[in-house]
Amino acid sequence: MPSYDSLKLADPDIYAALTGEMQRQADGVELIPSENYVSPAVLEIMGSVFNNKYAEGYPGKRYYGGQEFTDAVESLAIERAKRLFNATHANVQPHAGAPANIATYFALCEPGDTIMGMDLSHGGHLTHGHPVTYLAKIFNFVRYKMKDITTGEIDYDEMRAVAKREKPKILMAGYSAYPRELDYAKMRAIADEVGAIAIMDMAHVAGLIAGGAHKNPFDFGFDICLTTTHKTLRGPRGGMILTREAELGKKIDKMVFPGFQGGPIMQMVAAKAVAFGEALKPEFKDYAHQIVKNARHMAVEFLKNGALLITGGTDNHMLLIDTVTSWGIGGKEAEVLFDRIGITLNKNMIADDPRSPMDPSGIRLGTPAITTRGMKEPEMEQLVSFMLRAIEQRSDDAAIKALHEEVKTFCQQYPVPGIERMENG
């Protein structure tokens, strides 16, 4: 772990916040499904001198000189990404997942064109056309939903009917709060029938796909895969665009730069390369499969204890629980309660939720970060026990404080990568 001596001297306030966050991560359980811990190697390269270098353009075609080593790391990131996902073309420059999505829309569509994506309340993502986003003022978004929230089955018949009526330019797969796998073959067939480009936003499950724990959309003829590089992929915070055909990739490259964003953040591109190299190792496959095993085991434990899980379980890394029906409390109250015992997750809307996004009917939780710490099925049972005890004892402050101490002791067995135990925090 770096010493941070320079930071401590230069800015004690930021140093205090940093050490506080390190302590929080070491002493708590991270169940937010979009969060993970990077390796010490990824953490190191993110704080490197690559931060000092502008690299507008692409390898071999930069606008500034002095690019020998930036070209090397970006080329490695591109080649490793293509190997991981069996892609023909990769753009590793997007600063985050949303810019990757937006640049792709701009590359393929004109204002007013129709894009079809999953409804947010049924598990979709803001950038797939929610009315609160500026994108909804530019493109015409239409949505599809689950047919049955008890199983999570998508209403593919309705999807086909809407697609035939609306003729979308893009048919978007992918989600932020959906615990099942999608039927890529059905979606590709619908896209073919209406002449749409098939895109998978695999941000949440990219690591599961890379590790062979989930199907690869490219194997079903999808044209493009968009992703973040953190979450299950366990890399730095950033975005990436992969295509099945080189010409489509070149078109998107021009929109990423110079069309949409400026120079790449080179320390993050280098960190992506390191993370992709880690994901190519055999042990990453074990990790990806364990994420799914842990999530399924946790789901079984909740179901045995009477919790209502949206879709009835999980096929991936996340669970969505109706807390109102399960425990008589809203998602916001549940999030705050679990924070009090050192377990972090997020409030989340459920399908057609009658409550507001800031106080919804559910919570979302997942297993990528705890799997990185080495937890397996027995630990899933312990975590569910902690959470259910918190629900039962939520009116007893002393019991909640005692439970928090139990969680801290539990966490000492599972170090966070890149963070040494801080005994005097």
Q: Is 322 a catalytic residue?
A: no
The pTM for the full model equals 0.96
Residue 269: pLDDT band by 50, 70, 90 thresholds? very high
Q: What is the third-level CATH fold of 287-411?
A: Aspartate Aminotransferase, domain 1 (3.90.1150)
In degrees rounded to 5, what are phi and psi of residue 184? -65, -35
Locate all alpha helices (DSSP H) within 195-330, ordered by sequence: 206-210, 246-254, 266-279, 282-304, 323-327
Q: Which of 169, 237, 332, 364 is catalytic?
A: 237
Distance CA 96, CA 229 (A): 8
Work out the average pLDDT over 179-193: 97
Q: What is the pLDDT of residue 298?
A: 98
Query: Same fold for the domain at 44-279 and the one at 287-411?
Result: no
Q: Which of 74, 201, 253, 353 is catalytic?
A: 201
CB distance 263 to 66 below 8 Å:
no
Q: Which of 70, 114, 133, 228 is catalytic?
A: 228
Q: Is the pLDDT of residue 420 over 80?
A: no
Q: What is the pLDDT of residue 1?
A: 67
Residue 306: pLDDT band by 50, 70, 90 thresholds? very high
DSSP codes of every residue in 341-389: TTEE-EEE--TT-SS-TTS-SEEEEESHHHHHTT--HHHHHHHHHHHHH
Q: Is the pLDDT of residue 423 over 70?
A: no
Q: Is 5 a catalytic residue?
A: no
Q: Is the pLDDT of residue 26 over 90?
A: yes
What sign results for the dihedral spanned by CA atoms 203, 208, 210, 216? negative
The residue extents of the domains of the chain are 44-279, 287-411
Distance CA 266, CA 71 (A): 10
Q: What is the pLDDT of residue 3?
A: 81
Query: Cβ contacts of residue 339 below 8 Å, gap of 6+?
Result: none
User: How far is CA 348 from each of CA 234, 338, 340, 367, rounded to the nearest angstrom?
Assistant: 23, 14, 18, 16
Work out the average pLDDT over 225-235: 98
Q: Is 231 a catalytic residue?
A: yes
Q: Is the pLDDT of residue 130 over 80?
A: yes
DSSP codes of every residue in 332-347: HHHHHHHHHTTEE-EE
Q: What is the pLDDT of residue 54?
A: 97
pLDDT tens by residue, 41-77: 999 999 999 999 999 999 999 999 999 999 999 999 9
Work out the average pLDDT over 127-154: 93
pLDDT tens by residue, 378-404: 999 999 999 999 999 999 999 999 999
Q: Is 175 a catalytic residue?
A: no
Which of 380, 388, 363, 365 is closest to 298 using CA atoms?
A: 380
Work out the average pLDDT over 301-312: 98
- Thinking of the domain 44-279, which architecture would CATH place it in? 3-Layer(aba) Sandwich (3.40)
pLDDT tens by residue, 190-202: 999 999 999 999 9
Q: Which of 35, 44, 53, 56 is catalytic?
A: 56
Work out the average pLDDT over 341-353: 96
Q: Which of 143, 169, 188, 231 is catalytic?
A: 231
